[in-house]
Chain A
Amino acid sequence: MKRGYIAALLVAGTFVLATISLFVGVISLGPRDLWQDPASWTLIADSRLPRTIAALISGSALAVCGLIMQTLVRNRFVEPMTAGTGQGAALGILVVTIFFPSAPMFAKMALASVTALFASLGFLMMVRRLPPTQPLLVPLVGMIYGGILGATMTFFAYQTDMLQFIDIWLNGDFSGIMRGRYELLWIAAIVAALAYFVADQFAILGLGRDASVNLGLNYNQVMIMGLVVISIVAALTVVTVGAIPFIGLIVPNIVSRRFGDNLRQTLPLTALCGGMLVLASDIIGRIVRHPFEIPVGTIMGVLGAVVFLWLLYRGPRHAH
């Protein structure tokens, strides 16, 4: 039961990191202040706790989505934030902000989910035509596709004087997270958790279309289900904290390397690792230039690029 042991370690690590996260920030706050200064509780409840929860949820949900997307596309080098889904979500918010600026947050999020879904479908259509013998073409096409969507968005934002919003949506940052401004993320947490119940079906889809049909699965239906999960999580993350790159790429790869692709067993581990990694990156971002902060998207970009290169150049896989 090595997996159970590691899961317990990850849960413990998450609690340690969450505790540290509560006491790191611009306003200095130590554990002793909790019973000396009643105002410290307000700080925790209004800012530090929401920020910690937001980091954990977005990290785990994005890691889970990365794993689902890699299984659906059958390629280890894709993730929603670099393959058009995140950009599609941001494009949706931009459109709704331009045309219906007073629309409620929930409506903005719903439209962003829809555009994210269409962007992912477009990616899937393109990827299906690529030769299966060239797996590296898939992430390349994804990055170009994401780049085109991003450029379209920049053009419209430039035309409508909304360039400053683009940065908020495309570069994840937890410094604006406060009580009352992150609760939508709980929906992302629920959606990602629901994916666990269809984990077997996603895993079978990873065996290919023929194998899925053989086992009586409705291939297209499961595929759409997966894309809907990815799109909702991507849209909610982009709306509340902004895109966080690479998390959906490196976490599933590391977990799969050690524990394989049986999603029912690896989804919880992927979620735990994703939450920890994003929270750790956010804590680092709060510490390195204290009292200033570095956005978590930037930290993850640096960290993720290094790990991505390592994944590309690592030797062939052998028996564990």
Chain B
Amino acid sequence: MITVENLNYSVNGTQILHDVSVDLPKGGMTALIGPNGAGKSTLLSHVSRLLPLQTGRVRVDDLEIGHCASSDLARKLAILPQQVHFVTRLSVRELIRFGRYPHCKGRLGPKDHARVDAAIEAFGLEALSDRFLDTLSGGQRHKAHVAMTYAQDTDYLLLDEPLNNLDIAASRALMALLRDLADTQNKTIVIVLHDINFAAHYADHLVVMKDGQINCTGRPEDLVTTALLRDVFGTAANVEMVCNKPYVLP
């Protein structure tokens, strides 16, 4: 379980997170949703130790962020790194191999190679595995980065808006794969999503944020309502239930 207690965060006098306390359950998929600027990414960055803790505590199982070795946490929790402008000329396979670095420090054993091969297969990257990253399309490169976190083989996988720049087929394929990771390999997926329908359809658990605070948490079918869209997102949209799952109509 990921436990966040009394987390505050401010930049240049502007408070981004207000005394956030929340438990993210172990197992399954938890989606963070909320309007722009609600603090979803900031919260995720704290859990993934990308931002320094100002006040409050964050624990991932028995590891406390800021008090445990970063290299220990790297075997427990993986994050999908933000896409960057500068693209290094690594082949897809070389990139995915670096996902094993926390486990083997660069000396890959048979187990590491097997996991790299499994990642390449899971994401259908066999044909691209020897291509350099800078010769791929944005979507393919993104897939290679997710495959790298897959190879890292951690209990927790944190993704910050991974569906940006992906078309509908790629989005559905990625979400299905993450769902499968949660169901068959007992991984815990924590994901920031903008599309409420994707969140409601795939996630087991929602955390709704607004103005740097947790608004509510719970199951998608209980939370996603016309009232939530009006109060949190400030838009008058209708919600319909299809096969017992809520869908927001545009």
Chain A residues with a Cβ under 8 A of chain B: 71, 74-75, 132-133, 135, 200, 203-204, 206-211, 213-218, 256-257, 260-262, 264, 317-320
Q: Do B135 and A215 have beta carbons less than 8 Å apart?
A: no
Question: A71–B87 Cα gap in the complex (Å)?
Answer: 11
- Which A residues lie within 8 Å of B102 (CB)? 215-216
Cross-chain pairs A/B with CB under 8 angstroms, 27 sampled: A71-B88, A75-B86, A132-B85, A133-B85, A200-B101, A203-B98, A204-B101, A207-B81, A207-B88, A207-B98, A210-B81, A210-B82, A213-B48, A213-B49, A214-B79, A216-B75, A216-B102, A260-B91, A260-B94, A260-B132, A262-B91, A264-B106, A317-B134, A317-B135, A319-B135, A320-B132, A320-B135
| CB neighbours of B245 from chain A (8 A) | none
Which of B27-35, B65-73, B174-182, B230-238 is the interface stretch?
B65-73
A211 and B81 contact, CB distance less than 8 A: yes
Residues of B within 8 A of A203 (CB): 88, 90, 98
Q: How far is B101's CA from A209's CA once the two chains are assembled, in angstroms?
A: 15
Q: How far is the CA of A320 from the CA of B195 in the complex (A)?
A: 38
B132–A206 CB distance below 8 A = no
Interface residues of chain B, those whose CB is within 8 Å of chain A, are: 48-50, 69-75, 78-79, 81-82, 84-86, 88-91, 94-95, 98-99, 101-102, 105-106, 131-132, 134-135, 149, 152
Q: Chain A nearest CB: distance from B49 CB in Å?
A: 6
In Å, the complex CA distance between A44 and B140 comes to 56
Report the minimum CB–CB distance from B188 to chain A (whole Å).
Answer: 16
B69 to chain A, nearest CB (A): 8
A-side contacts of B101, CB under 8 Å: 200, 204, 215-217
**Whole-angstrom CA separation of A281 from B109 in the bound complex:** 43
Known A-B contacts A213-B49, A213-B50, A318-B135; the reply to A262 vs B90 at CB < 8 A is yes
Contacting residues, chain A, for B91 (C-beta < 8 A): 260, 262
Q: A114 vs B156: C-alpha distance in the bound complex, in angstroms?
A: 43
Inter-chain CA distance A46–B199, complex, in Å, is 75
Q: Chain A contacts of B75 at CB under 8 A?
A: 216
Are B90 and A261 in contact, CB atoms less than 8 angstroms apart? Answer: yes
Q: Which of A135, A209, A261 has the most CB of B within 10 A?
A: A261
Known: A211-B81, A216-B73. A135 touches B88 (CB 8 A): no
Decide: B86 and A132 in contact? CB cutoff 8 A: yes
Chain A residues positioned under 8 Å from B79 (CB to CB)? 210, 214
Note all chain B residues with C-beta closer than 8 A to A264. Answer: 106
- From known contacts A260-B91, A262-B90, A319-B135, infer whether A216 and B74 are also in contact, taking CB-CB under 8 Å: yes
Q: Which of A200, A207, A209 is most buried by chain B, counting CB atoms within 10 A of its CB? A: A207
Chain A residue numbers with a CB within 8 Å of B132 are 260, 319-320
- Cα separation A213 to B102 with both chains bound (whole Å): 11
Cβ A74 vs Cβ B86 within 8 A: yes
Residues in A whose Cβ lies below 8 Å from that of B73: 216
Ranked 4 nearest A-B pairs via Cβ: A216-B74, A216-B71, A211-B81, A200-B106
B36 to chain A, nearest CB (A): 21
Identify which of B70, B88, B95 contacts A218 (C-beta below 8 A). Answer: B70
- A254 and B181 CA atoms in complex are apart in Å by 41
Closest to A133 in B: B85
* A203 CA to B99 CA, complexed, in Å: 12
In this complex, what residue of A is CB-closest to B77?
A214
| Residue contact A213 to B89, C-beta cutoff 8 Å | no
Q: What is the bound-complex CA distance between A317 and B81, given in angstroms?
A: 24
Chain B residues near A318 (CB, 8 Å)? 135
CB < 8 Å neighbour of B131 from A200, A256, A319: A319
Taking the closest CB of chain B, its distance from the CB of A25, in whole angstroms, is: 40
Question: Is there an interface contact between A260 and B89, defined as CB atoms closer than 8 Å?
Answer: yes
B82: A residues at CB distance < 8 A: 208, 210
